[in-house]
Every structure is written in structure tokens, then in C-alpha cells.
Amino acid sequence: MVFLFNSDAERARIFAAEFARVLPDQRFVADRNAVAPEQVRYLLTWTAPADLERYPNLEVLFSIGAGIDQFGAGLPDHVKLVRMVEDGIIRMMQEYVTLAVLALHRDLPGYIEQQARGEWQARTVQQATARRIGVLGLGMLGTAVIDRLRAFSFPLAGWSRTAHDLPGVACYHGSAQLEDFLAQTDILICLLPLTPETQGFLNARLFSCLPVGASIVHAGRGPQLDQTALLEALASGHLAGAVIDVTDPEPLPSDHPLWRHPKVILTPHVASVTQPDTAAKAVIANIRRHEAGLDPIGLVDRNLGY
């Protein structure tokens, strides 16, 4: 049976070398036209091919990224969907969110605006111990980000759909506790998966529950953010700033106000990118788990959407 790799040639080269070194008995193919469809047991891709039904013996579909919302609802029930869980994705998200939190904490957008005016002026500094950080989403990435932020002595809190217990973190869960969580958050980090429940989650009502002068870091998915509501909250002064890595659409139109907003740092969906060397190791480990009758790491609950 075949592992079919559907991504770019450079990643294919790295994956193929790792498969040859560690899993030589597993046939690795990077050209779909070079294999009979009925031979494909595993498929790694970013989006599902339109003709997925041509692979009748497909057992596991691996996403090459941490997100899986792009696959929609068209996968056969018997096919396991596995999101990418690998060290490179985790490290990069930790780096990005730390960068964003510190930029907002030390008012980097304000200094960039002053620099453009040629203005040399110190801005108010608040101690990290007084800046409350709240993370939306306590999955793999959310908990990893919290671990990295601990070193700065920020008061840390997290919110998720279900209850969690993390040392040194005020944990909230469910819709009943969301407002209490938001009321005690000065910098809000969104790392939620995209589901029907989280579409439009970052909206005017949510922003109104944050303290005046709060900021946001959005590294979840573009459709979770009501961009008009964000612009209005920034204009009113209720929000002080934002670091945005994901938008809807991507890229934004060139005339969109977020591009040149003085209180916004905008990046082009680069917070975390799959690293092929560590990703290949993670996929091989999951193939071994699957063949041993174990669930792969990152197996998606299709009912929950993550």
C-alpha cells in the first residue's frame, strides 16, 4: 500500500528521504499519476482532492497543517482525519505569540507611529505582573503558548469549550464563564479552531466585554474575526491595538483599512508554518501508531471539528 504525498517538491524531497531512512518498507509516492488509486492507504495534503472517492482504500488523511477546517464535510466516515502535530509548528506559534504579546505590552504600534512622525517621546510602561493575558483555546498550541509566556510573569488565564486544569493558570470554560474571562483580560490571544461555533467569535459583543484599553492577538482563523467590529473598537478607543495574522479573505484587498491602521500590526498568515523535517518524523510516528491499532496523534473528532 502507498503513502501519497500531495504538496510541494521541496517538502516531498525531505519527506521521501526520511521515509527511506526510517520506514523503507512503506512505499512513498509524490506523483498521484504514478500510482493506482486503489493502492493509496495514506494521503498527506493541504486540501482534499475533488475526486477523493477515487481512493477506495484510503484509511488516513493527514493535513500538512495544524488546521483542518479546509477539508469541509465531504470526507467518508471511515477515513481518519489527522491534523499536523509537530514540534516546528508549536515552536513557531510560541515565538509569534510571544512577539505579539510583547509588542502590545510595550506599545510597539505607538512607537512605530511616533517614528513615522519623527517624534522622540517615551510612552507609559506597565509592569508585566499587571498585564493580564488571556488565551482563547487551550489545545496543543494554546497550552504551549501559555508555557512560553510564563517566564515574563504575566497573570495568565485561558478559556476553552471544556474544562481544563493548568498549573498557575486561571481556567474558564463554556459560554457561562466567557464574560468573566474576558473582563479580566488585557491582551486576548485567539488560538481557537474554526468551527461553526467560532465563526465570527471575535465580534463587537466580545470586544465590549474586554476592559477599556485591551488589545488582541489573532492567530486562529480569518473568519473568526469581525473586521468591521475590530475597526470600530479601535476607533472608539475601547481597544488599544491588535496583532492580526489571519484575515478573511486572504490576502486582504489592497485598500482595506487594516493594512495602514496605526494601531494594527498585520502579518500574512505566517505565525506558524509546518517544518518538513519534524513533520515527516511526526507522520511516520503516526503511521506506526495506526498500524499498531492506536489512534494517531492529532486525530480529529469529526463531530467537534477539531
What does the DSSP assignment read for the chain?
-EEEEES-HHHHHHHHHHHHHH-TTSEEES-GGGS-GGGEEEEEESS--TTGGG-TT--EEEESSS--GGGTT-S-TTSEEE----HHHHHHHHHHHHHHHHHHHTTHHHHHHHHHHT---------GGG--EEEE--SHHHHHHHHHHGGGT--EEEEESS----TT-EEEEHHHHHHHHHHT-SEEEE-PPP-TTTTT-BSHHHHHHSPTTEEEEE-S-GGGB-HHHHHHHHHHTSEEEEEE---SSSSPPTT-GGGG-TTEEE--S-S----HHHHHHHHHHHHHHHHTTPPPTTB--TTTT-
Name the residue ranges covered by the structural domains of the chain: 2-86+274-291, 88-266
Interval 56-77 mean pLDDT: 90
- How far is Cα of residue 51 from the mean position of the Cα atoms in its chain? 27
pLDDT per residue as tens digits for the range 228-250: 999 999 999 999 999 999 999 99
Q: Is 90 exceeded by the pLDDT of residue 73?
A: no
User: Is 301 exposed, middle or buried, given 0-12, 13-18 or 19+ CB atoms closer than 10 A?
Assistant: exposed
**Alpha carbons 134 and 171: distance in angstroms, whole number:** 9
Q: Same CATH topology for 2-86+274-291 and 88-266?
A: yes
pTM: 0.92
pLDDT per residue as tens digits for the range 154-198: 999 999 999 999 999 999 999 999 999 999 999 999 999 999 999
Q: Which CATH superfamily is domain 88-266 in?
A: NAD(P)-binding Rossmann-like Domain (3.40.50.720)
Give the model's confidence band at 305: pLDDT under 50 very low, under 70 low, under 90 confident, else very high. confident
221 is catalytic: yes
pLDDT per residue as tens digits for the range 22-66: 999 999 999 999 999 999 999 999 998 888 999 999 999 999 999
Selected catalytic residue, list 131, 221, 261, 290 = 221
**Alpha carbons 152 and 155: distance in angstroms, whole number:** 9
Domain made up of 2-86+274-291: CATH architecture: 3-Layer(aba) Sandwich (3.40)
| Cβ atoms of 278 and 84 closer than 8 Å | no
Selected catalytic residue, list 148, 164, 269, 289 = 269
pLDDT per residue as tens digits for the range 94-150: 999 999 999 999 999 999 999 999 999 999 999 999 999 999 999 999 999 999 999
CA angle (66, 217, 263) in 5-degree steps: 140
Q: Which candidate, 68, 38, 88, places its Cα nearest to that of 4?
A: 38
